[in-house]
Amino acid sequence: MTLAVAGYLTFPADPRVAHWAGAALDCARDVLGQGGERRHGETWYPGVDALPNDPRGTIAGVPLAGPWEDHVTPPQSWHRAQLSVVFPGYPQQDAGESDAAHRFRRDRDAAHMDGLLPEGPNRRRHLREAHAFILGIPLNVATGSPLVVWEGSHQVMGRAMARVFNTVPPEDWGDFDVTEAYVAARRTVLQSCKRVELRQSPGTSVLLHRHLIHGVAPWQPAATPDEGRMVAYFRPEVDDLMDWLNAP
């Protein structure tokens, strides 16, 4: 299936990606060794902008290149990649986390669409990051807590966002509360779209549609390694908000 139909594409091992992942893994271990915030009972390191790649995507002298370039237009400048690390036992419940939120993370893989950030004490959703796409590059061999996607969910979410934002000027989108529309559409996704676990290894890569519902499965017994499951993520933002809403 295509990115437009399924909402995601997985790519087989590619030597260019494997080279980049190897360099990034060395950097990732250095970053983790410096500490930093961990959430959900110390079982997840969010690592936003944590990897030291340059604006071309190069890390430790290794250029960023791969098969995704045949499917999306790379940005003129890459942001520093997220280093997402899931550790054994994920997810545990944080002291300030509600029982309902923890159950959703544990039982529904914390299913979400990127860019609609929960804000304030009532966790109201607003469009704060209009991504063009999401690129994931596994850094190590790990069988625990795979990435989870809901096949075709980008179509459900895209229609829901169009109904909301087509009546709002683009300059006001960030201030518009989309919570009800988002929650209702996500509920439809969880009831009607196929849940798929994506287990990948270094050298492979995954491309997600910007509207795709995705999450992370709980850590599974006998999974390896103890250092956790490490993935680098890029989420370049669009230049035109209408592209975020309407582009294929």
Per-residue pLDDT in tens (0 to 9) along the chain, 248 residues: 789 899 999 999 999 999 999 999 999 999 999 999 999 999 999 999 999 999 999 999 999 999 999 999 999 999 999 999 999 999 999 998 999 999 999 999 999 999 999 998 889 999 999 999 999 999 998 888 999 999 999 999 999 999 999 989 999 999 999 999 999 999 999 999 999 999 999 999 999 999 999 999 999 876 666 788 999 999 999 999 999 999 99
Residue 103 neighbours by CB under 8 Å, 6+ apart:
none
Structure token digits, residue 12: 């087989």
Torsion of Cα atoms, 214 then 218 then 219 then 221, to 10°: -130
Q: Which residue has the tokens 């582009």?
A: 247
Query: What is residue 181's predicted lDDT score, i.e. its pLDDT?
Result: 97
Beta partners for 195? 150
The enclosing domain of 97 has a CATH number of: 2.60.120
The residue range of the domain holding 62 is: 3-246
What is the tally of structural domains in the chain?
1
Q: Is 127 exposed, middle or buried (0-12, 13-18, 19+ CB in 10 A)?
A: buried
Q: Which residue has the tokens 């430790």?
A: 60
Question: Tell me: the pLDDT tens digits for 33-87?
Answer: 999 999 999 999 999 999 999 999 999 999 999 999 999 999 999 999 999 999 9
- pTM here is 0.96
Question: Tell me: the pLDDT tens digits for 91-103?
Answer: 999 998 999 999 9
